[in-house]
Amino acid sequence: MAPLDPHSFTDSTHTLTTHIALSLYFDFPSATIHGAALFTLSSPHSGPLCLDTRSLSIHRVLSPSTLSPLPYSLSPFCDPIKGTHLSLSLPNDVALSSFLITFSTSPSSSALQWLSPPQTFNKKHPFVYTQCQSIHARSVFPCQDTPAARIRYSALLNVPRELSAVMSARHVDRRLPVSGEGYSNLLPNGFNSLWCSETRVVEEFDMNQPIPPYLFAFAVGELGFREVGPRTRVYSEAADGVLEAAAKEFAGTEDMIRQGEKLFGDYEWERFDLLVLPPSFPYGGMENPRMVFLTPTVIKGDASGAQVVAHELAHSWTGNLITNKNNEHFWLNEGFTTYAERRIVEAVQGEDRAVLSIGIGWRGLNDEIKRFQDNLEFTKLKTNQEGVDPDTFYSQVPYEKGFQFLWCIERQIGRPAFDEFLKKYIATFKFKSIDTETFLDFLKANAPGIEKEIDLVLWTEGTGIPPDAYEPVSNLYTKIVSLANEFKLGRMPREDEVADWQGQEWELYLENLPKVVEASQVFALDARYRLSESNDYEVKVAFLQLAILSKCRDFYGEVEKTLKEVGRMKYVRPLYTALVQGIGKEEEKILAKRVFAEARDCYHPIAQGVVESIFAKHL
Collect all residues with Cβ–Cβ distance below 8 Å to 69 and sequence separation of at least 6.
Answer: 60, 61, 62
The answer to whether 1 is annotated as binding is no
User: Binding mask 34-73 vs Zn ion (x if CB under 5 A, - otherwise)?
Assistant: ----------------------------------------
Q: How far is the CB of 311 from Zn ion (least distance, A)?
A: 6
Residue 33 or 256 with smaller CB distance to Zn ion: 256
User: If residue 85 lies in a helix (H) or strand (E), which one and from where to where?
Assistant: strand 84-90
User: What is the sign of the dihedral through the CA atoms of 494, 495, 496 and 501?
Assistant: positive
Say how far apart CA 555 and CA 52 lie, in whole Å: 45
User: What SS3 state is found at 63?
Assistant: coil
- CA atoms in the 13 A half-sphere facing the CB of 290: 20
Q: Could you tell me which stretch among 158-166, 329-337, 390-398, 483-491 binds Zn ion (CB under 5 A)?
A: 329-337
Helix axes 351-371, 331-349, angle to 10 degrees: 150
Check 203, 204, 237, 312 and give the catalytic one: 312
The answer to whether 252 is annotated as binding is no
The answer to whether 568 is annotated as binding is yes
Residue 337 or 532 with smaller CB distance to Zn ion: 337
Residue 104 or 337 with smaller CB distance to Zn ion: 337
The answer to whether 286 is annotated as binding is yes
**Closest-CA residue to 136 (of 382, 317, 327):** 327
Q: DSSP characters for 421-476?
A: HHHHHHHHHTTEEE-HHHHHHHHHHHSTTHHHHS-HHHHHH--S--TT------HH
- Beta strand extents in 550-593 (DSSP E only): none
CA distances from 482 to 186, 505, 506, 550 (A): 67, 12, 13, 21
Q: How far is the CB of 59 from Zn ion (least distance, A)?
A: 36
Say how far apart CA 615 and CA 619 lie, in whole Å: 5
Q: Integer distance in angstroms from the first to the last C-alpha of the chain?
A: 38
The answer to whether 72 is annotated as binding is no
Q: Name the residue number minimizing CB distance to Zn ion.
A: 337
Residue 345 or 599 with smaller CB distance to Zn ion: 345
Q: Could you tell me which stretch among 5-13, 253-261, 328-336, 527-535 binds Zn ion (CB under 5 A)?
A: 328-336
**Closest-CA residue to 93 (of 123, 70, 127):** 70
Say how far apart CA 219 and CA 70 lie, in whole Å: 32
User: If residue 486 lies in a helix (H) or strand (E), which one and from where to where?
Assistant: helix 475-488
Q: How far is the CB of 596 from Zn ion (least distance, A)?
A: 27
**Is 399 in the active site?**
yes
Which amino acid belongs to residue 191? F
The answer to whether 342 is annotated as binding is no
Q: How far is the CB of 394 from Zn ion (least distance, A)?
A: 11
Q: How far is the CB of 480 from Zn ion (least distance, A)?
A: 25
The answer to whether 311 is annotated as binding is yes
Assess contact for 132 and 83: CB atoms under 8 A.
Answer: no
Residue 105 or 337 with smaller CB distance to Zn ion: 337
Say how far apart CA 607 and CA 282 lie, in whole Å: 6
Q: Could you tell me which stretch among 8-16, 200-208, 336-344, 607-615 binds Zn ion (CB under 5 A)?
A: 336-344
Residues touching Zn ion, count (CB under 5 A): 2
User: If residue 503 lies in a helix (H) or strand (E), which one and from where to where?
Assistant: helix 503-511
Residue 102 or 337 with smaller CB distance to Zn ion: 337
Q: Could you tell me which stretch among 289-297, 332-340, 348-356, 558-566 binds Zn ion (CB under 5 A)?
A: 332-340
- CA atoms in the 13 A half-sphere facing the CB of 341: 30
Largest CA distance in the chain: 81
Check 399, 477, 576, 603 and give the catalytic one: 399
Other CB atoms within a 10 A radius of the CB of residue 34 amount to: 26
Q: How far is the CB of 315 from Zn ion (least distance, A)?
A: 6
Q: Could you tell me which stretch among 195-203, 331-339, 425-433, 496-504 binds Zn ion (CB under 5 A)?
A: 331-339
The answer to whether 282 is annotated as binding is yes
The answer to whether 267 is annotated as binding is no
Cis geometry, peptide bond prior to residue 550 (ω within 30 degrees of 0): no
Q: How far is the CB of 570 from Zn ion (least distance, A)?
A: 12
- Cα 4 to chain centroid distance, Å, stands at 22
The answer to whether 618 is annotated as binding is no
Which residues from 164-203 bind Zn ion, rule CB under 5 A? Answer: none
Residue 308 or 513 with smaller CB distance to Zn ion: 308
The answer to whether 334 is annotated as binding is yes
Residue 334 or 538 with smaller CB distance to Zn ion: 334
Assess contact for 141 and 37: CB atoms under 8 A.
Answer: yes
Q: Could you tell me which stretch among 51-59, 141-149, 337-345, 457-465 binds Zn ion (CB under 5 A)?
A: 337-345
Q: Listing from the earlier edge strand, what are the strands of the sheet with 112-115?
A: 112-115, 127-130, 218-221, 164-167
Q: How far is the CB of 209 from Zn ion (least distance, A)?
A: 19
Binding-site entries for Zn(2+): 311, 315, 334
Q: Supply the residues annotated as catalytic.
A: 312, 399
Which residues in this chain contact Zn ion in the complex, by CB under 5 A? 334, 337
Binding-site entries for a peptide: 131-133, 282-287, 568-570
Binding-site entries: 131-133, 282-287, 311, 315, 334, 568-570
